[in-house]
Structure 1
Amino acid sequence: MTDVITLGWRERLALPSLGVSVLKAKLDTGARSSSLHVEWLEVDERADGSWLRFQVRTTRRGGLSEPCEARATGRRTVTDSGGHRTTRWFIEAEIELAGQRFLAEVNLTDRRHMLFPLLLGRTALFGRFLVDPALSYSQTPRRVVRDHP
Protein backbone atom coordinates (compact mmCIF):
# COMPACT_ATOMS: atom_id res chain seq x y z
CA MET A 1 0.00 0.00 0.00
CA THR A 2 1.30 3.47 -0.87
CA ASP A 3 1.67 6.22 1.69
CA VAL A 4 -1.35 8.46 2.00
CA ILE A 5 -0.58 12.20 2.03
CA THR A 6 -2.05 14.36 4.80
CA LEU A 7 -3.47 17.70 3.67
CA GLY A 8 -5.18 20.62 5.34
CA TRP A 9 -8.88 21.46 5.29
CA ARG A 10 -8.14 24.01 2.55
CA GLU A 11 -5.49 23.77 -0.16
CA ARG A 12 -4.47 25.30 -3.47
CA LEU A 13 -4.59 23.00 -6.48
CA ALA A 14 -4.67 23.09 -10.27
CA LEU A 15 -7.14 21.83 -12.87
CA PRO A 16 -4.77 21.25 -15.82
CA SER A 17 -7.37 19.80 -18.18
CA LEU A 18 -9.38 23.02 -17.77
CA GLY A 19 -6.38 25.36 -18.01
CA VAL A 20 -6.73 26.53 -14.38
CA SER A 21 -3.27 26.90 -12.87
CA VAL A 22 -4.27 27.64 -9.28
CA LEU A 23 -7.55 27.47 -7.40
CA LYS A 24 -8.42 27.47 -3.71
CA ALA A 25 -10.33 24.39 -2.62
CA LYS A 26 -12.05 23.25 0.54
CA LEU A 27 -11.34 19.58 1.25
CA ASP A 28 -14.57 18.24 2.70
CA THR A 29 -14.77 14.62 3.86
CA GLY A 30 -18.44 15.19 4.71
CA ALA A 31 -19.36 15.85 1.09
CA ARG A 32 -19.60 12.86 -1.25
CA SER A 33 -19.08 14.68 -4.55
CA SER A 34 -16.85 17.52 -5.64
CA SER A 35 -18.38 20.81 -6.80
CA LEU A 36 -16.86 23.53 -8.99
CA HIS A 37 -18.22 27.07 -9.30
CA VAL A 38 -18.92 28.13 -12.87
CA GLU A 39 -19.97 31.61 -13.97
CA TRP A 40 -22.06 30.35 -16.88
CA LEU A 41 -22.82 27.02 -18.50
CA GLU A 42 -23.86 26.08 -22.05
CA VAL A 43 -24.81 22.59 -23.22
CA ASP A 44 -23.98 21.38 -26.72
CA GLU A 45 -25.57 18.07 -27.74
CA ARG A 46 -23.28 16.18 -30.13
CA ALA A 47 -23.25 12.70 -31.64
CA ASP A 48 -20.81 11.56 -28.92
CA GLY A 49 -22.81 13.00 -26.01
CA SER A 50 -23.39 16.23 -24.14
CA TRP A 51 -20.51 18.72 -24.11
CA LEU A 52 -20.41 21.58 -21.63
CA ARG A 53 -18.87 25.02 -22.12
CA PHE A 54 -18.35 27.09 -19.00
CA GLN A 55 -16.09 29.59 -17.27
CA VAL A 56 -14.42 29.21 -13.87
CA ARG A 57 -13.92 32.12 -11.46
CA THR A 58 -10.50 31.45 -9.97
CA THR A 59 -10.71 34.08 -7.22
CA ARG A 60 -13.58 35.61 -5.24
CA ARG A 61 -13.01 39.03 -6.86
CA GLY A 62 -12.18 38.76 -10.55
CA GLY A 63 -9.92 36.09 -11.95
CA LEU A 64 -11.83 34.37 -14.73
CA SER A 65 -10.40 31.41 -16.60
CA GLU A 66 -10.51 31.07 -20.34
CA PRO A 67 -13.75 29.40 -21.43
CA CYS A 68 -13.54 25.66 -20.71
CA GLU A 69 -15.06 22.70 -22.51
CA ALA A 70 -15.57 19.17 -21.21
CA ARG A 71 -17.69 16.17 -22.08
CA ALA A 72 -20.46 15.59 -19.54
CA THR A 73 -20.32 12.30 -17.64
CA GLY A 74 -23.91 12.67 -16.56
CA ARG A 75 -26.56 14.73 -14.85
CA ARG A 76 -27.66 13.78 -11.34
CA THR A 77 -29.46 15.13 -8.32
CA VAL A 78 -27.21 16.41 -5.54
CA THR A 79 -28.29 17.23 -1.98
CA ASP A 80 -26.34 20.13 -0.44
CA SER A 81 -25.47 20.59 3.24
CA GLY A 82 -28.75 22.46 3.79
CA GLY A 83 -30.80 19.55 2.44
CA HIS A 84 -31.68 21.29 -0.86
CA ARG A 85 -31.73 19.03 -3.91
CA THR A 86 -30.65 20.25 -7.35
CA THR A 87 -29.87 18.52 -10.63
CA ARG A 88 -26.29 19.19 -11.75
CA TRP A 89 -24.05 18.38 -14.68
CA PHE A 90 -20.94 16.29 -13.94
CA ILE A 91 -17.60 16.21 -15.77
CA GLU A 92 -14.34 14.37 -15.26
CA ALA A 93 -11.55 16.85 -14.49
CA GLU A 94 -7.86 16.33 -13.99
CA ILE A 95 -6.70 17.59 -10.60
CA GLU A 96 -3.13 18.31 -9.57
CA LEU A 97 -2.62 18.39 -5.81
CA ALA A 98 0.34 17.57 -3.57
CA GLY A 99 2.45 16.38 -6.51
CA GLN A 100 -0.24 13.98 -7.74
CA ARG A 101 -2.37 14.16 -10.87
CA PHE A 102 -5.64 12.26 -10.93
CA LEU A 103 -9.07 12.33 -12.50
CA ALA A 104 -12.10 13.14 -10.40
CA GLU A 105 -15.78 13.55 -11.17
CA VAL A 106 -16.88 17.12 -10.44
CA ASN A 107 -20.29 18.73 -10.65
CA LEU A 108 -20.70 22.24 -12.04
CA THR A 109 -22.79 24.66 -10.01
CA ASP A 110 -23.15 28.20 -8.70
CA ARG A 111 -20.92 28.57 -5.63
CA ARG A 112 -20.60 32.37 -5.79
CA HIS A 113 -21.74 32.73 -2.18
CA MET A 114 -19.22 30.17 -0.92
CA LEU A 115 -15.68 31.00 0.22
CA PHE A 116 -14.06 28.44 -2.10
CA PRO A 117 -14.73 27.96 -5.82
CA LEU A 118 -14.04 24.22 -5.48
CA LEU A 119 -15.22 21.76 -2.88
CA LEU A 120 -13.22 18.53 -3.11
CA GLY A 121 -15.35 15.73 -1.69
CA ARG A 122 -14.50 12.38 -0.17
CA THR A 123 -14.88 10.40 -3.41
CA ALA A 124 -11.92 12.34 -4.89
CA LEU A 125 -9.94 12.20 -1.64
CA PHE A 126 -10.46 8.50 -0.82
CA GLY A 127 -7.31 6.39 -0.94
CA ARG A 128 -5.16 9.40 -1.88
CA PHE A 129 -5.29 11.86 0.97
CA LEU A 130 -6.12 12.27 4.64
CA VAL A 131 -7.46 15.61 5.82
CA ASP A 132 -6.17 17.15 9.06
CA PRO A 133 -8.53 19.99 10.02
CA ALA A 134 -5.71 21.63 12.00
CA LEU A 135 -3.73 22.18 8.77
CA SER A 136 -4.35 24.86 6.16
CA TYR A 137 -2.60 25.41 2.81
CA SER A 138 0.02 22.78 3.56
CA GLN A 139 0.99 22.33 -0.12
CA THR A 140 2.57 24.71 -2.60
CA PRO A 141 1.06 24.16 -6.05
CA ARG A 142 3.20 24.33 -9.17
CA ARG A 143 1.97 26.59 -11.94
CA VAL A 144 0.68 24.39 -14.75
CA VAL A 145 -0.39 25.10 -18.28
CA ARG A 146 -3.36 23.65 -20.12
CA ASP A 147 -2.60 20.20 -21.48
CA HIS A 148 -5.02 20.49 -24.41
CA PRO A 149 -6.06 23.47 -26.50
Structure 2
Amino acid sequence: MRFAIIALTSLLFSASPALAEPQPESSAEPEVLGFIEWVVMGETGIRLKARLDTGAKTSSLHAVNVESFEKDNEEWVRFQLPLGDHEDQPSEGELEHDEVILEFERPVYRTVLIKRKGAPSQRRHVVKMEFCIAGKMHETQFSLTDRGKFAYPVLLGRRFMRDDNILTDSARSFVAEQECEYSTLEELAESSKAVEP
Protein backbone atom coordinates (compact mmCIF):
# COMPACT_ATOMS: atom_id res chain seq x y z
CA MET A 1 0.00 0.00 0.00
CA ARG A 2 2.82 2.38 0.85
CA PHE A 3 4.42 1.71 -2.55
CA ALA A 4 1.20 2.65 -4.40
CA ILE A 5 0.94 6.00 -2.63
CA ILE A 6 4.57 6.90 -3.31
CA ALA A 7 4.26 5.88 -6.96
CA LEU A 8 1.12 7.97 -7.45
CA THR A 9 2.69 10.98 -5.76
CA SER A 10 5.83 10.78 -7.86
CA LEU A 11 3.74 10.40 -11.01
CA LEU A 12 1.75 13.54 -10.21
CA PHE A 13 4.85 15.57 -9.43
CA SER A 14 6.68 14.40 -12.53
CA ALA A 15 3.68 15.28 -14.72
CA SER A 16 3.04 18.74 -13.24
CA PRO A 17 5.74 20.63 -15.23
CA ALA A 18 4.16 19.50 -18.48
CA LEU A 19 0.73 20.72 -17.30
CA ALA A 20 1.90 24.13 -16.12
CA GLU A 21 1.65 27.03 -18.57
CA PRO A 22 5.00 28.62 -19.39
CA GLN A 23 5.37 32.03 -17.78
CA PRO A 24 6.94 34.81 -19.86
CA GLU A 25 10.29 35.90 -18.53
CA SER A 26 10.91 39.59 -18.11
CA SER A 27 14.46 40.90 -18.07
CA ALA A 28 13.47 44.08 -16.21
CA GLU A 29 12.44 44.20 -12.59
CA PRO A 30 8.83 45.35 -12.17
CA GLU A 31 8.29 48.86 -10.85
CA VAL A 32 6.42 48.96 -7.54
CA LEU A 33 3.94 51.80 -7.04
CA GLY A 34 1.48 52.56 -4.28
CA PHE A 35 -2.20 51.82 -4.64
CA ILE A 36 -2.75 55.59 -5.03
CA GLU A 37 -0.43 57.70 -7.22
CA TRP A 38 -0.51 61.00 -9.10
CA VAL A 39 -0.97 60.86 -12.87
CA VAL A 40 -0.74 63.65 -15.44
CA MET A 41 -2.94 63.15 -18.49
CA GLY A 42 -1.12 63.48 -21.81
CA GLU A 43 0.06 66.84 -23.03
CA THR A 44 -2.62 68.73 -21.08
CA GLY A 45 -0.86 68.91 -17.72
CA ILE A 46 -3.94 67.79 -15.75
CA ARG A 47 -2.83 66.20 -12.48
CA LEU A 48 -5.25 63.64 -11.03
CA LYS A 49 -5.23 61.02 -8.32
CA ALA A 50 -5.24 57.48 -9.68
CA ARG A 51 -6.04 54.25 -7.92
CA LEU A 52 -4.15 51.17 -9.12
CA ASP A 53 -6.77 48.42 -9.02
CA THR A 54 -5.96 44.77 -9.75
CA GLY A 55 -9.70 44.03 -9.62
CA ALA A 56 -10.31 45.94 -12.85
CA LYS A 57 -8.99 44.84 -16.23
CA THR A 58 -9.49 48.10 -18.10
CA SER A 59 -8.55 51.51 -16.76
CA SER A 60 -11.22 54.20 -16.50
CA LEU A 61 -11.27 58.00 -16.56
CA HIS A 62 -13.79 60.45 -15.16
CA ALA A 63 -15.80 61.90 -18.04
CA VAL A 64 -19.16 63.68 -18.35
CA ASN A 65 -21.26 64.80 -21.33
CA VAL A 66 -19.86 61.96 -23.43
CA GLU A 67 -21.02 62.30 -27.05
CA SER A 68 -20.02 60.22 -30.06
CA PHE A 69 -19.63 61.76 -33.51
CA GLU A 70 -18.14 60.88 -36.88
CA LYS A 71 -14.84 62.29 -38.11
CA ASP A 72 -12.97 61.15 -41.23
CA ASN A 73 -15.35 58.17 -41.53
CA GLU A 74 -14.40 57.01 -38.02
CA GLU A 75 -16.26 57.05 -34.73
CA TRP A 76 -14.93 59.65 -32.32
CA VAL A 77 -16.04 60.73 -28.86
CA ARG A 78 -16.15 64.14 -27.22
CA PHE A 79 -16.19 64.39 -23.43
CA GLN A 80 -15.61 66.84 -20.61
CA LEU A 81 -13.56 66.59 -17.43
CA PRO A 82 -14.80 69.08 -14.81
CA LEU A 83 -11.97 69.84 -12.40
CA GLY A 84 -14.40 70.80 -9.65
CA ASP A 85 -15.40 67.16 -9.18
CA HIS A 86 -12.08 66.24 -7.55
CA GLU A 87 -10.02 69.43 -7.04
CA ASP A 88 -6.62 67.77 -7.47
CA GLN A 89 -5.08 70.54 -9.59
CA PRO A 90 -2.69 72.91 -7.75
CA SER A 91 -3.77 76.56 -7.81
CA GLU A 92 -1.67 79.71 -7.56
CA GLY A 93 -4.50 82.22 -7.31
CA GLU A 94 -8.14 82.65 -6.43
CA LEU A 95 -9.55 80.66 -9.33
CA GLU A 96 -12.03 77.99 -8.22
CA HIS A 97 -11.84 74.42 -9.55
CA ASP A 98 -15.54 74.61 -10.46
CA GLU A 99 -14.68 77.33 -12.97
CA VAL A 100 -12.56 75.02 -15.14
CA ILE A 101 -13.93 72.28 -17.39
CA LEU A 102 -11.66 70.63 -19.94
CA GLU A 103 -12.93 69.13 -23.18
CA PHE A 104 -11.36 66.26 -25.12
CA GLU A 105 -11.91 64.59 -28.47
CA ARG A 106 -10.51 61.12 -29.14
CA PRO A 107 -11.13 58.31 -31.64
CA VAL A 108 -13.17 55.44 -30.17
CA TYR A 109 -10.90 52.43 -29.75
CA ARG A 110 -13.73 50.06 -28.82
CA THR A 111 -17.05 49.95 -26.97
CA VAL A 112 -17.75 47.74 -23.95
CA LEU A 113 -20.96 46.64 -22.28
CA ILE A 114 -20.70 46.89 -18.49
CA LYS A 115 -23.04 44.63 -16.50
CA ARG A 116 -24.07 46.20 -13.21
CA LYS A 117 -25.71 44.43 -10.28
CA GLY A 118 -29.21 45.76 -9.67
CA ALA A 119 -28.98 48.25 -12.54
CA PRO A 120 -29.27 48.16 -16.32
CA SER A 121 -26.16 47.33 -18.36
CA GLN A 122 -24.20 50.35 -19.50
CA ARG A 123 -22.38 50.83 -22.81
CA ARG A 124 -19.09 52.71 -22.48
CA HIS A 125 -16.68 54.12 -25.02
CA VAL A 126 -13.01 53.16 -24.64
CA VAL A 127 -10.26 55.48 -25.87
CA LYS A 128 -6.48 55.25 -25.85
CA MET A 129 -4.77 58.05 -23.98
CA GLU A 130 -1.23 58.88 -22.93
CA PHE A 131 -0.45 59.72 -19.33
CA CYS A 132 2.56 60.16 -17.08
CA ILE A 133 3.06 58.29 -13.82
CA ALA A 134 6.25 58.13 -11.74
CA GLY A 135 8.06 60.31 -14.27
CA LYS A 136 7.37 58.01 -17.25
CA MET A 137 4.94 58.27 -20.16
CA HIS A 138 2.54 55.40 -20.84
CA GLU A 139 -0.46 54.73 -23.05
CA THR A 140 -3.42 52.56 -22.17
CA GLN A 141 -7.12 52.06 -22.80
CA PHE A 142 -9.55 54.10 -20.68
CA SER A 143 -13.27 53.50 -20.46
CA LEU A 144 -15.10 56.81 -20.09
CA THR A 145 -17.51 57.00 -17.17
CA ASP A 146 -18.78 59.48 -14.61
CA ARG A 147 -16.52 58.96 -11.57
CA GLY A 148 -17.66 62.15 -9.84
CA LYS A 149 -18.96 60.19 -6.84
CA PHE A 150 -15.72 58.20 -6.49
CA ALA A 151 -12.69 59.38 -4.53
CA TYR A 152 -10.36 58.93 -7.51
CA PRO A 153 -11.02 60.28 -11.02
CA VAL A 154 -8.64 57.75 -12.59
CA LEU A 155 -8.52 54.00 -12.12
CA LEU A 156 -5.58 52.07 -13.57
CA GLY A 157 -6.36 48.41 -14.21
CA ARG A 158 -4.53 45.15 -14.79
CA ARG A 159 -4.02 45.70 -18.53
CA PHE A 160 -1.86 48.76 -17.84
CA MET A 161 0.04 47.06 -15.01
CA ARG A 162 0.68 43.93 -17.06
CA ASP A 163 1.74 45.76 -20.24
CA ASP A 164 4.04 48.16 -18.40
CA ASN A 165 5.48 45.75 -15.82
CA ILE A 166 3.96 47.48 -12.77
CA LEU A 167 3.24 45.98 -9.35
CA THR A 168 1.16 47.73 -6.71
CA ASP A 169 1.75 47.78 -2.95
CA SER A 170 -1.72 47.88 -1.40
CA ALA A 171 -0.33 49.08 1.95
CA ARG A 172 1.28 52.28 0.63
CA SER A 173 0.33 55.32 -1.43
CA PHE A 174 2.28 58.03 -3.29
CA VAL A 175 5.55 56.09 -3.34
CA ALA A 176 6.69 57.12 -6.86
CA GLU A 177 10.19 58.52 -6.65
CA GLN A 178 9.85 60.71 -9.76
CA GLU A 179 7.16 63.26 -10.51
CA CYS A 180 5.54 64.26 -13.78
CA GLU A 181 5.31 67.86 -14.93
CA TYR A 182 1.85 69.36 -14.48
CA SER A 183 0.10 72.68 -15.00
CA THR A 184 -1.54 74.92 -12.45
CA LEU A 185 -5.29 75.49 -12.45
CA GLU A 186 -4.73 78.95 -13.92
CA GLU A 187 -2.58 77.59 -16.76
CA LEU A 188 -5.26 75.04 -17.59
CA ALA A 189 -7.95 77.73 -17.59
CA GLU A 190 -5.97 79.69 -20.15
CA SER A 191 -5.52 76.71 -22.45
CA SER A 192 -7.69 76.31 -25.53
CA LYS A 193 -9.13 73.07 -24.10
CA ALA A 194 -10.94 74.88 -21.28
CA VAL A 195 -14.64 75.53 -21.83
CA GLU A 196 -17.17 77.67 -19.98
CA PRO A 197 -19.05 75.77 -17.24
Q: Tell me, yes or no, if the aligned pair for 2:112 and 2:123 is still in contact at 8 Å.
A: yes
Aligned position for 2:127: 91
- What number of residue pairs does the alignment pair up? 145
Counterparts of 1:73-84 in structure 2 under 5 Å? 73-79=109-115
Q: Does 1:143 align with 2:169?
A: no
- Please identify which structure carries the higher strand content: 1
Query: Aligned letter for 1:23?
Result: L
Shift, 1:83, TM fit:
7.5
Q: Tell me, yes or no, if the aligned pair for 1:20 and 1:65 is still in contact at 8 Å.
A: no
Q: Tell me, yes or no, if the aligned pair for 1:14 and 1:141 is still in contact at 8 Å.
A: no
Counterparts of 1:34-53 in structure 2 under 5 Å? 34-53=59-78
Q: Tell me, yes or no, if the aligned pair for 1:21 and 1:143 is still in contact at 8 Å.
A: no
For structure 2, list consecutive stretches of 5 or more residues without a partner in the other structure: 1-26, 88-96
Give the CA RMSD over aligned residues: 2.3
Distance of 1:83 and 1:9 partners within structure 2 = 28
Distance of 1:20 and 1:26 partners within structure 2 = 18
Aligned position for 1:128: 165
Q: Give the number of the structure with larger relative contact order, counting CA–CA contacts within 8 Å between residues 6 or more apart.
A: 1
* Sequence identity percentage: 28
Q: Tell me, yes or no, if the aligned pair for 2:63 and 2:81 is still in contact at 8 Å.
A: yes
Deviations 1:72-102 (A, max 9, x none): 101111246x575321000001121112212
Of 38, 43, 48 in structure 2, the residue corresponding to residue 23 of structure 1 is 48
Distance of 1:56 and 1:65 partners within structure 2 = 6
Query: Aligned letter for 1:96?
Result: C
- Please identify which structure carries the higher helix content: 2
Distance of 1:143 and 1:4 partners within structure 2 = 23
Shift, 1:144, TM fit:
4.2
Distance of 1:86 and 1:24 partners within structure 2 = 24
Q: TM-score, normalised by structure 1?
A: 0.84
Shift, 1:7, TM fit:
0.5
Aligned position for 1:110: 146
Q: TM-score, normalised by structure 2?
A: 0.65
Instruction: Give runs of ≥4 in structure 1 deviating > 4 Å.
Output: none
Distance of 2:39 and 2:115 partners within structure 1 = 25
Aligned position for 1:6: 32
Q: Tell me, yes or no, if the aligned pair for 1:57 and 1:117 is still in contact at 8 Å.
A: no
Query: Aligned letter for 2:67?
Result: E
